[in-house]
Chain A
Amino acid sequence: MIQNPQLNITQNPHSKRKNGWFSDTWRRLRKNRLAIVGLIILILMILIAIFAPWVAPYGYDDQNIKAAMIFPCKEYPFGTDNFGRDILSRVIYGSRISMQVGLISVGIALMAGGILGAVAAYFSHMDNIIMRTIDVFMAIPDMLLAIAIAASLGAGMRNLMIAVGVSNVPRFARVVRAAVLTVKEQEFVEAARSIGSSNLRIITTDILPNCLSQIIVQATLGVASAIILGSSLSYLGFGIQAPLPEWGAMLSAGRVYIRTHWYMTVIPGLAIMLAVYALNVLGDGLRDALDPRLKN
């Protein structure tokens, strides 16, 4: 909080600026129709994920062998699978898993990558060692790194999130480093240093808030690619296992019946696409809204 006795400013200028930042961003974002569509889809999906037990007509593992392999009809809008489980309910419950995988793995990547990137940018003697290590990790495509980690840790949701998260660390480290490097040279950082702020305080209160817009954009797009990576790994069998209704695992199960039951490979894929599309248009919209200079 800045106090200026001469001007007798009483309100907290920091909170006012934050308000302005939010309303400015929102005002610009609102004009982007596509981004708003993405935001609405996303909010709906999050609500569906939260209220899955109330929204879904059946449980995700309610087997009814008599009603197996039924094509989409009134009773089962998206049909049933080989165990007679309602695909609509499974897709609804699947949104819980994909959202969790996306958010938590990006959380892991952002924490680890953010610390590494900020340290590398702020303490220049650490820059070389950290970034060369990051370069080595970047040389392994993220899908292969994630597969290797998932294969080593074993299947399961927690391990999948770790695998996807770790393979995304280099990407976030680079983004945060680049952002911190540009902010670091600004006068207010020097000002903070001159009044004796500690390094930790400068990084957390002066530098990171000013990098926030870039980080938000990358995190939004990162969740989208984490959902794709997570479902790809589950498709290959290195992620979430039956009977959990992961979208990629559902596609993998439906692959066997592709010649006879098309809906089993179409519907879970549409769900992935919808979620990822919403996140991508929102991310693009946020980039334009948060940094109008970049807009075409």
Chain B
Amino acid sequence: MLKYIVKRLLMVIPVLLGVTIIIFTILYFAPGDPAVMALGEGTPEAALEAYRVEMGINGTYIERLVRYVGNVARGDLGLSFQSRKPVVSELMQRIPQTLTMATWGIILATVLGVFLGIVSATRQYSFWDTIATIGALFGVSMPMFWQGLMLILIFSVHFNFFPASGFSSVKHMIMPISALGIQISANIMRSTRSSMLDVLRQDYIRTARSKGQKESRVIMGHALKNAMIPVVTVIGVQFSKMLAGSVIIESIFSIPGIGKYMIDAINARNYAAVQGSVLLIAFTGCILNLAVDIMYTFIDPRLKTIFETKRHRKKVA
């Protein structure tokens, strides 16, 4: 098992190397000279070049790429073009906001999505199933940023319940977290429902019912445990989607997190900061995927055999 985790962790390295190269290459072709942007038009060439050397953005594409990859490997994401502070420390200040938002968002989405999914699968074609299914489809069809705007319109402008921007108190957090969570919960609801419907038709559910097991126990004990296996994958995928969605939600609610940092950085042509933000989000996504894969073995013991060494398996046999 440990061997498997280490192996998977090592496999993250080439992926991150690839992500670094891709993002670096895309932004290498971005218009605008960061040195001119930072120092202003009409700055003498010598000063511009000195700035480029200081920021590590002098030289050819290959030179810069190699230097950047080397720095990233040492945990250095370069200097922010405007503030001239390390991107890593600027990101560190913003991680808590984004992570708080995404974590509560995924908790909300999972609880809501799994609950509604169970309700509508166990009462297939009933009134509540129809409502939940149609509602989830609408949830999936609404762009996240529009959900955020509508929440502001209803709860901030109309009822004046929650403030429309900021992230300093629980009251501030409710709307952004809901805006992130609602759409994701719709996705989770849809996959819980279809997976649950699949499981409910299995023989062992009939067996459980025929031996007189309570319906609640059949659903929660027998069906849900098996139905959750594909849902966990969906939740893992949705968590990375949520980190990306935070880019939009943070701009709407003016939350000082990684997403807003990235958008501001693009507008200021601060590409070191953009690269750093994308890398951080991609890295978090990779680690989450790994965590989901490991979690699988706990939910689905059948998979444990994969991680057993050949010798061990023979002994068991």
Contact = CB atoms under 8 A, between A and B. Distances in A.
Interface residues of A, number: 44
B27 interface: yes
B145 A265 contact: no
Contacts of A69: none
B274 A148 contact: yes
Contact of A142 (B30, B140, B244): B244
Given A141-B240, A142-B244, A280 B285 contact: no
Contacts of B29: 152-153
Contacts of B152: 258
Contacts of B247: 143-144, 147, 236
Contact of A236 (B15, B153, B157, B263): B263
A135 B11 CA distance: 11
Interface stretch (B16-24, B212-220, B308-316): B16-24
A136 B18 contact: yes
Interface string A236-256: 111000000000100100010
B204 interface: no
B179 to A, nearest CB: 13
A152 B27 CA distance: 6
Contact of A280 (B15, B30, B140): B140
A151 B30 contact: yes
A283 B157 CA distance: 36
A34 B150 CA distance: 25
B247 to A, nearest CB: 6
A200 B82 CA distance: 53
Given A154-B31, A232-B248, A259 B266 contact: no
Chain B, interface SS category: helix
B243 interface: yes
Interface stretch (A21-29, A106-114, A212-220, A271-279): A271-279
Interface in B114-129: 124
Contacts of A141: 240-241, 243-244, 281-282, 285
A172 B9 CA distance: 27
Contacts of B95: none
Contacts of B263: 147, 236
A139 B15 contact: yes
B157 A152 contact: no
Contacts of B252: 255
Contact of B278 (A132, A148, A238): A148
Interface string B222-256: 00000000000000000011011101100110000
Contacts of B30: 151-152
A262 B153 contact: yes
Contacts of B134: 34
Contacts of A255: 149, 252
Contacts of B26: 148-149, 152
Interface string B125-144: 00000000010011011111
B140 A266 contact: no
A207 interface: no
A61 to B, nearest CB: 23
Contact of B274 (A151, A224, A273, A281): A151
A258 B158 CA distance: 10
Contacts of A224: 141
A221 to B, nearest CB: 10
Nearest to A224: B141
A276 B18 contact: no
B23 A259 contact: no
A228 interface: yes
Contacts of B286: 139
Contacts of A251: 145-146, 149
A231 interface: yes
A266 B164 CA distance: 16
A272 B138 contact: no
Given A133-B18, A136-B15, A137-B22, A151 B266 contact: yes
Contact of B149 (A34, A140, A269): A269
B194 A231 contact: no
Nearest to A133: B18
Contact of A144 (B31, B138, B267, B281): B281
Given A251-B146, A266-B150, A140 B141 contact: no
A158 B53 CA distance: 35
A265 B153 contact: yes
B150 A276 contact: no
Nearest to B277: A144
12 contacts: A136-B14, A144-B281, A148-B27, A154-B31, A236-B247, A258-B149, A258-B153, A266-B150, A269-B146, A273-B143, A284-B137, A296-B198
Given A136-B19, A273-B138, 19 more contacts: A139-B19, A139-B286, A140-B23, A143-B245, A143-B247, A147-B247, A147-B266, A224-B141, A232-B144, A232-B145, A232-B248, A235-B145, A236-B251, A238-B266, A255-B149, A258-B164, A262-B153, A273-B141, A276-B140
**Considering the complex of A and B, which 8 residue pairs feature the smallest CB-CB distances, nearest first?**
A136-B18, A141-B244, A269-B146, A277-B141, A276-B141, A152-B30, A143-B244, A296-B197
